[in-house]
Amino acid sequence: MKDHKFWKTCIGGGCLAGSIFILFIIINGMVKGEQHDTQTIIEETLPTDTVFVPTAEDHAALDTMLTQVQDIEIDIDTLHVRIDRIEDKIDALIEEQSDEYRMWITQEGDTIWD
């Protein structure tokens, strides 16, 4: 029974200490806290001479690259289809050459009944 009372006391003390700590942080933020405008902070940290501002030529170059990338994606899809067809043809040729095909389909191979 004493173990349970000690356990409850420890839990209560931990909750009390945590509450005091959180209250301290909140009060400290209210007393010492200064409100900063995030836009002002960003403007102060970014150097104005190195910020890239795209021009109309830059937009045109990016559009050209986008078109090229889309054309390449279409070509890759076409290649995948062609590769699949080639694989199917190779698989069909392998099946035709196999002993099982000759045994059961054309009856020219050795069977277990011979």
pTM recorded for the entire structure: 0.38
50-64 pLDDT, tens per residue?
Answer: 677 788 899 999 999
For residue 105, pLDDT over 60 is answered with no
The set of residues, in sequence order, having a beta carbon less than 8 Å from that of 54 and lying 6+ positions away, is 62
**Rama region for 107: left / alpha / beta (φ>0; ψ in -120 to 50; rest):** left
User: For the chain, how many residues are written?
Assistant: 114
Query: 31-35, 81-85, 106-110 — which one is most confidently predicted on average?
Result: 81-85
Would you list the domain boundaries of the chain?
A: 1-51, 52-114
**Window from 46-50, 74-78, 99-103 with minimum mean pLDDT:** 99-103
19-32 pLDDT, tens per residue?
Answer: 888 888 888 777 66
Whole-number Å distance between alpha carbons of 109 and 82? 34
CB atoms near residue 109 (< 10 Å): 14
For residue 1, pLDDT over 50 is answered with no
